[in-house]
């Protein structure tokens, strides 16, 4: 693993970033380098979006969609909402775990679920984010997809028609539509039954697109949830319960297979069918042998939770203003 810290000369937050990287790495082996950037041109060349910028295997896991390159001071939001001069150790640890999952894949980075590192959060332009968030919230409160008419007021606030915004969101793979233009899925939720059911404390139940999507939902909604699924090979039931931030997996040997069919295309088509829970590594490997059209790897519970949280954790907390 290669970690690059991009800073301007004498950046006061560079030592803090290096210290937290060291703490997050623990026993992991990694090459860590510090590079001083002296101008806007060099910042653009290296992908620096403020000082310090941390690249893991050449990718900035903390970059917001559409971030511009810059040599200005960069701040990071801590888990408690405060802003700091470097990512928290917990956020760095999640980024490292995700990097380990994607390192050996044929489509680097293997992250169709996260739109090749661009994340699942739609840009603010044209009302995309406000409509996306309205769709996801409707799924969360009712377990069902909204109709276009339910979104007209939100879209009108941006001077647009709901159908046009939905079509644009679908084109950018933030959601999928059926032949009649109705919402079929809005990651992490599905409007049609899947193998993964999520139940909330108020009794509402919703389908998730895949195992990773399901694992990201409790953090995204800041709520307890119970995920039910089954091993695709044996049919054995699997339950993942999230209560007050603590997750319990049953069976305790449960793992997740993370794979995809190709390097490009909507996640619903190329990867969601390969992000499943398995009761053991043995059945996950058996499934992957039976499905040679998918490439990927088996990951443990901590890595799977980290991936889901990284993709969906901030989807509803980032303002559309």
The domain limits of the chain are 2-103, 125-186, 196-312
pLDDT-wise least confident of 189-198, 245-254, 257-266, 287-296 = 257-266
Residue 66, φ and ψ in degrees, nearest 5: 80, 10
**Which pLDDT value is given to residue 90?**
80
- The answer to whether residue 150 scores a pLDDT higher than 50 is yes
- The answer to whether residue 167 scores a pLDDT higher than 60 is yes
State pLDDT tens for residues 8-59.
Answer: 999 999 999 999 999 989 888 899 999 999 999 999 999 999 999 999 988 8
* Alpha-carbon distances, residue 4 vs 28, 31, 57, 94 (angstroms): 15, 8, 8, 17
In angstroms, rounded to a whole number, what is the distance separating the alpha carbons of residues 242 and 220?
12
- Residue 258 tokens read as 């993370």
**11 neighbors 40 (Cβ within 8 angstroms):** no
**Which pLDDT value is given to residue 265?**
62
Residue 316, φ and ψ in degrees, nearest 5: -105, -5
Neighbouring CB atoms inside 10 A of 153's CB total: 10
Is beta strand 49-51 parallel, antiparallel or unpaired with respect to 70-73? parallel
- Residue 130 tokens read as 């406000």
Helices (H) and strands (E) in the chain, counts: 10, 18
- Residue 220 tokens read as 């995204």
Q: By C-alpha distance, which of 275, 245, 240 is closest to 257?
A: 275
In CATH terms, the fold of domain 2-103 is Glutaredoxin (3.40.30)
- Residue 256 tokens read as 């997740």
Q: pLDDT band for position 277 (50/70/90)?
A: very high
CATH pick for 196-312 out of 3.40.5.10, 3.40.50.960, 3.40.50.300, 3.30.450.410: 3.30.450.410
> Do the domains 2-103 and 196-312 sit in the same CATH topology, yes or no?
no
Q: By C-alpha distance, which of 95, 72, 114 is closest to 4?
A: 95
For the chain, percent helix, then strand, then coil, each to nearest 5? 35, 25, 40
| Residue 218 Ramachandran class (φ > 0 left, ψ -120 to 50 alpha, else beta) | alpha
> What pTM, to 2 d.p., does this model score?
0.71
The dotted CATH code for 125-186 is: 1.10.10
């Amino acid at each position: 693993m290669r970690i690059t810290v991009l800073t301007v000369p004498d950046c006061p937050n560079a030592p803090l970033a290096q210290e937290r990287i060291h703490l997050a790495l623990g026993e992991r082996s990694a090459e860590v380098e510090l590079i001083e950037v002296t101008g806007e041109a060099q910042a653009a060349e290296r992908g620096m979006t403020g000082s310090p910028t941390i690249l893991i295997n050449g990718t900035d896991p903390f970059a917001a969609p559409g971030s511009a390159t810059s040599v200005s001071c960069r701040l990071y939001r801590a888990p408690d909402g405060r802003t700091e001069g470097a990512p928290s150790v917990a956020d760095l640890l999640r980024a490292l775990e995700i990097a380990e999952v994607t390192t050996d894949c044929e489509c680097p980075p293997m992250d169709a679920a996260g739109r090749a590192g661009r994340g699942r959060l739609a840009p603010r332009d044209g009302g995309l984010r406000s409509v996306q968030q309205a769709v996801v919230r409707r799924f969360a409160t009712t377990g069902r997809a909204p109709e276009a008419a339910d979104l007209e007021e939100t879209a009108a606030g941006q001077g647009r028609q709901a159908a046009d915004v939905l079509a644009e969101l679908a084109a950018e793979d933030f959601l999928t539509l059926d032949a009649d233009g109705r919402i079929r899925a809005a990651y992490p939720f599905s409007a049609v039954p899947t193998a993964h059911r999520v139940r909330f404390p108020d009794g509402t139940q919703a389908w998730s697109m895949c195992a990773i999507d399901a694992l990201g939902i409790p953090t995204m909604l800041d709520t307890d949830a119970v995920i039910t699924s089954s091993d695709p090979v044996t049919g054995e039931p699997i339950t993942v319960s999230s209560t007050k931030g603590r997750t319990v997996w049953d069976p305790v040997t449960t793992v997740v297979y993370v794979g995809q069919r190709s390097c490009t295309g909507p996640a619903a088509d190329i990867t969601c069918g390969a992000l499943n829970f398995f009761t053991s590594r043995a059945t996950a490997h058996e499934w992957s042998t039976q499905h040679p059209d998918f490439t990927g790897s088996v990951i443990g519970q901590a890595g799977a939770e980290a991936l889901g949280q990284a993709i969906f954790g901030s989807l509803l907390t980032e303002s559309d203003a």
